[in-house]
Amino acid sequence: MTAPAAKPTACLALADGTIFTGQGFGATGDVVAELVFNTAMTGYQEIMTDPSYASQIVTFTFPHIGNTGVTEQDDESNDPVASGIVVKWDPTEPSNWRATSDLQDWMRRRGRIGIGGVDTRRLTRAIRQQGSPHVVLSHDPDGNFDIEAMIAKARNWTGLVGLDLAKEVTTRQSYHWEGGLWEWPGEFAPVSETKPFKVVAIDYGAKRNILRSLVSVGADVTVLPATATAEEVMAHEPEGVFLSNGPGDPAATGEYAVPMIKSLLEQKLPIFGICLGHQMLALALGAKTVKMGHGHHGANHPVRDIDSGKVEITSMNHGFAVDAQSLPEGVRETHISLFDGSNCGIEITGQPVFSVQYHPEAAPGPQDSAYLFSRFADSMRARRTSGAA
């Protein structure tokens, strides 16, 4: 005799009325957000703590989520920023020597909702065909759900277009970052003893491993809030400026970020941007951004370097993209996605100013693009050698 199925304790309601039920874990309650899917096979903790996922719920296409547990060393920010997660199989007990806790308890303590037992293939197919939907995710141990109210809440949510989320996830005050990349047997590398390059990093939602990557190529990193002015940046006498990743609609964040970046461009400083920082730079140069159907989220996205023809496998997390057709004269496209041909990189001709749409620090993901941090350091080194600094 087959045992009766467990009563659902979690429910995912899409704005079109589609309902998915499963077993809840983590925190209880409900949350409204945009639903995306991520194709990475590792790094769920880094994904959950990536500030670029603000106001988004992540569907993992890989079924084994939670099997390596969690450790504070893998946090990309102080707390999870993604609103919740959807997984195929309920997280199991972790089996990893670095684990200090399990995923379910970590999410409960950090106030994030999860749902397991969902047909993630069907859900991912729906997202690919219809675009990232607005959804409500609810976890109630008693299994009591007001389905109609959940659907109505999802339909009434305004979504990410026009929403400036960088202000919500950015640091509230400036700080100095120390520490390089993780090294065996489990420590973060110290700051280089050689004279470092003074770099100001604008925090639109910066991941810690991005800052560590800057340190690893010889940067002395000062992090400033997303709303920092050009005068505040230049007060630190930087040799280069880094524009970080982050969430939300770039056009909304650009209301205050674009004027600042335009002023910095007049200083002829080396500038390096990624993800939202890439989009901010493009907007400052006169280009436009557009909302994508379901965006790019994963650690296996192929990108082609237009000049060399080299293909990099990259880590991506973005729902907006730079419209390559809107790039002005003097700004050239350097990288394109081999999935859909969307823009993945730009540079100013003849200037040490460039940016990419993906996350070259590889947390999580492959390390094909780590050379970009060295390129940034080389541009600062060249400026220092020329006496322009």
Chain-centroid distance of CA 264 in Å reads 24
Structural domain of 340: 166-386
Q: Do residue 70 and residue 191 come from a single domain? A: no
**Which residues form the catalytic set?**
275, 359, 361
Task: Give percent above pLDDT 70 in the chain.
Answer: 97
- Partners of 356 in the beta sheet? 274, 345
**Per-residue pLDDT reduced to its tens digit, 306-358:** 999 999 999 999 999 999 999 999 999 999 999 999 999 999 999 999 999 99
Q: Report the number of secondary-structure helices (H) and strands (E) in the chain.
A: 10, 19
Domain with residue 263: its CATH number is 3.40.50.880
Q: Give which of 354, 205, 352 is closest to 344, Cα–Cα.
A: 354
Q: Do residue 176 and residue 322 come from a single domain? A: yes
Q: Do residue 119 and residue 150 come from a single domain? A: yes
Q: Please give the pLDDT value at position 2.
A: 47
> Is the entire prediction scored with pTM above 0.75?
yes
Last residue of some domain: 156, 175, 197?
156
37, 65, 157, 272, 380 from 14: Cα distances, Å? 14, 22, 11, 38, 48
82-101 mean pLDDT: 94
Is the CA virtual torsion 388, 204, 171, 253 positive or negative? Answer: positive
Q: Please give the pLDDT value at position 1.
A: 45
